[in-house]
Structure 1
Amino acid sequence: MENAENEDTKRGKPDEEENADRISNLPDFVLSHILSFLPIKTAVSTSLLSPRWRHIWKKHLSVLDFSDDFFQPNDDRLELFKTLAVFVNCVFTLRKPCEVRKMRLSCTHSLVDHKFSLNGAVYFNLRRAKAIRLPSLKKLQLHIGYVEVSPMNALLSGCPNLETLDLCFYAEDSGGIIRVPPSLKWLKIIINNSDAGASLEIDVPVLEYLCIANITITDANNLQNVVEASVDVFPSSAASAFTFLKLLGALTGIKHLVLSCSTTKRDSRSGRPPPRYAT
C-alpha cells in the first residue's frame, strides 16, 4: 500500500512542475523587457496577476505605448480623449522615477483646441500651458494632422538631447521656420502639403541621416557628418534655390544621396509651368 502511494506521489511531481510559474521567477529586468513589447494598458493589467507582478511596470518599464485603441469607441470624442488623458496621467503618477527610453502616444480622434462661451464676460484671462521639458528624450516620432510651426518649435526646444526625430504632418498656411535640436543624429521631416510655406533651418553638426520632403530650406550649416540623405524639395524662388544649393554644398561627407522633385511633377500634372529663375 505504501509503495502505491509513493508511486502516485512520484507521478504527481511532473504535473506540479508543468504547472509551476517559471515566468514570475525571472529577474525584474527580464520581466520589464517582456512588458515593453505590450501596450501600456496591458502592461499595467499584469499588476493584478500576483504580488510578484504588482510593481514591475511601476519600477522598471522604460517603453510606454499609449493608444486610444484600447478604449471603447463612441460618438463622444471629448469623453474618449478625457479617458485617455486620465489614463496617461495615472500612469505617470503611479510609476516610480525611472528612465523613459521610448514613448508612443496615439490619439486618432481630433478635437477643437479651445472652445469658450464668453457671453456677457467683462474680463477674461487665459494662461496657456508652459513649455514641455523632456531633457532625457532621445527619440521622437510625430505623425499628426494640421499643426502650426510655433507649438512644434516649443516642443522641440524642450528636447535638448534628442537624437532621432521623425515628423510627418500638414503645416498650417501661416508657415514658419522649423528649428531642430543640434543634438540630432537622424532627421526626417515630411510635410504633406507642399504649398504651406513652412521652412527648415538646419544646424546639426552630429547629423548622420537626413530625409526631407516638401519643405523650403532657409539655412543649412554643419552637415559634414551626413552620410545618407534623401531630399524631395524644389525651390520656389531664386533665394530658396540659393539655400537649396547651399544645402547640397554642405553635404561634404555624403556617401548616398537621393534627389527628387515631386513638387515639380505635381505642377506638371496640374498644367502649371515649373518655376523659372533669372540668371
Structure 2
Amino acid sequence: MEQCGGSLRKRVAMSVDRISELPEALLIQILSSLPTKLVISTSVLSQRWRSVWEMMPNLEFDQSNGNIKGFAENVSKSLLLHKAPILQSLHLKVRDRCEHVYVGIWVAIAFNRHVRDFELDLNFYGNPVRFPSCLFCFNELETLKLKNKLLLDVPCLVPMKSLRTLHLDYVEYKDDESYRNLLSSCPNLEHLVLRRHYHYNAVSNFVIVAPSLKTLWLHDTIHRAGNSSFEINAPSLEFLNIEKLTGYQVFRIENALEIVEANIRNVSYIANEMIMGSLSSAKRLSLDLSPLQITFPTGVIFRQLVELEMYTHKDEWWNLLTLMLDSSPKLQVLKLIDDGSTSLDFDKKSTDEGKWNEPKYVPECLLSHLETLVWTRYHWEREEEKEVATYILRNARQLKKATFTTYPIKSKKLNKLARRREQFSELECVVSSCELVLQVE
C-alpha cells in the first residue's frame, strides 16, 4: 500500500513539474481562460507559480459576495502587485456601495499600467460615485465601459484619441457640458452605446457629432417636460439601434447616408418622422412601431432595402406593413413577428377604423423581388392576419418559401385543430409554386 501511495505521489509530482517547466508565455495563455480569482490562487502552488499571475494581461474582479471593504482592499492589493507592462483589460463589478477613493485608486493604477480596455460597473442602491475627471486624460485607452452608479463630471475636453468603443449605461452627468465634452474628446469613436433610465438626471439636449462612428445603440426611458432635443451627426454610421426613445421635442439624424442596418423599437411619435426619413439607405430594417403614431415623410423610398422585419402586436400594424411594402421596391425577405404580448385566445374584432384594406395597386416588391416570407406566431383566428397572408401569397410572384410558425393547441381545445388544418389548406390553395411550411413552437 505504501509503495502504491509513493508511486501516485511521484506521478503527481512529475505532472506538476511538466506544467511548471512550460514557458511563462504559455502558462499565461493557459491561465487566461480561468477566472482572475482562481488565477491569483495559483501563487500558493510553488515558488515557480508565485508571480506568474502578476503578468496576466486581463484581470476581472466581481464582488459576488463578501463585504465591500475586503473586496476593495483585495483588488487594490492585486493591482499594486501586478507587473505586466501593459494591462490589456480590467473589468470591475461592485455590488455594494464603495467609497470614491477606491474608484480613484483602481482607475489610477489601471491607467498607470496602460490599460486598453476598462470596464467599471457599480450596481448598488444609493447615490452615485463620482468618476475622477482627471483620469479621463489617458490617450491609450481603446474601450471604456461605465455602468450604473457613476457620476461623470467632465469640465473640459480630454485627450482620448485612441478610444474606439464607449458604453455609457445608466450613468449620470453633472450637466449637459460634461456629456458634450466627453463625446467631443473622442474624435475616432466607432462604437457608442448610450442607455439612460427614467429616474436619472436628464441631459436636456443630446448632441452626437462623431465622424468615425459606425454603430450606435440608444435606449432612453426618460420622460421630459419642456424643450429637449436629440441630434445625431454621424456620416459613417452603418448600424443604428433605437429603443424607447421618448419625450424629445426635436430629433434629428443628419448625414446618415451609409446606414446598412437599423432596429427601431417604441419611439415616440415626435421622433418617428425624422428617424424613418433617415433610413432610406438601409438594407435591413427591424421595426416595432405603432402605425397610429407614424407620420411618414412623403416621397421616401427604401431603394436598398432587401430584408424587413416587423412586429405585429401593435394596433393596426398592417397599415405600416402596407406603407413599407409600397416604399421598398427591392424587398426580398419579409419577417412578421408577434412578440407574444397579446393573449393566444384574444380574438381581435374588426371595426371600420381597424380593418385592413387591400391596396389598389400591388407593390413592385411583391411582383418582382420577394422570395421569402416568415411569419412567427401567426394567429389563425384573426381575420386581418388571414387577409394579409392571403394577399401576400396571392401576389408575390417570385415567392419561393413561406413559413408560418404558431402556438400549439392545448389539449382542452383540440376542436380547433380541424379548423386550423382547414385554414392552412386555404392558404395552400392560394400559392402556386411556393413551398408552404407550417411549424409549431
Q: Where on the TM-score scale, by shorter chain, does this alignment land: which range?
A: 0.5 to 0.7
Partner of 2:281: 252
Partner of 2:105: 86
Q: 1:141 to 1:174 in 2, by over 3 A?
A: closer
Matched with 2:256 is: 223
Residue of 195, 204, 211 corresponding to 2:224: 195
Counterpart of 1:167 in structure 2 is: 194
Q: In the TM superposition, what whole-angstrom CA distance separates every residue of 1:80-106 from its partner, at most 9, and x where no partner exists?
A: 33223222222333x2x4x61x32111
Compute the displacement of 1:168 (Å).
0.6
Larger Rg, first or second structure (1 or 2): 2
Q: Decide whether aligned partners of structure 1 residues 163 and 173 sit closer, same or farther in structure 2, where only a CA change above 3 A counts.
A: closer
Bigger relative contact order, structure 1 or 2, given CA contacts below 8 A and separation 6+?
1
Length, aligned pairs only? 231
Is contact 2:155–2:181 with CA below 8 Å preserved after alignment? Answer: no
Map of 1:243 onto structure 2: 274
**Displaced runs of 4+ in structure 1, greater than 6 A?**
8-12, 41-48, 262-265
Give % identity.
22
- Whether 2:120 is the aligned partner of 1:105: answer yes
Partners of 1:47 and 1:56 within 8 A in 2: no
CA contact (8 A) 1:47 1:54 kept: no
Alignment check: 8 A CA contact 1:149 1:198 kept = no
Which of these residues, 136, 157, 168, is aligned with residue 142 of structure 1? 168
- The letter of the residue matching 1:209 is F
Asked whether the 8 Å contact 2:31–2:39 carries over to 1, the reply is no
Aligned partner of 2:11 in structure 1 is: 14
Indicate the RMSD between aligned Cα atoms, in angstroms: 4.1
Supply the distance in 2 between the matched residues of 1:103 and 1:11 (Cα, whole angstroms). 45
The aligned amino acid for 1:20 is D
| Partner deviation per Cα, 1:125-160 (whole Å, 9 max, x = no partner) | xx9754333221221222115444432222111222
Cα distance between partner residues in 2 of 1:113 and 1:53:
30
CA contact (8 A) 2:192 2:217 kept: yes
Scaled by the length of structure 1, what TM-score is found? Answer: 0.64
* Pairing partner for 1:25 from 22, 25, 33: 22
Q: Partner amino acid for 2:190?
A: E
Contact 1:140–1:164 (8 Å) recurs in 2: yes
Q: 1:129 to 1:190 in 2, by over 3 A?
A: same
* Cα 1:256/1:242, change in 2 over 3 Å: closer
Contact 1:138–1:163 (Cα < 8 Å) also in 2: yes
C-alpha separation between the residues in 2 aligned to 1:212 and 1:206? 17
Contact 1:189 1:212 in 2 (8 A): yes
In the alignment, which residue of structure 2 is the partner of 1:131? 157
Q: Distance in 2 between matches of 1:185 and 1:59?
A: 31
Alignment partner of 1:204 is 2:201? no
SS of 2:12 mapped into structure 1: helix
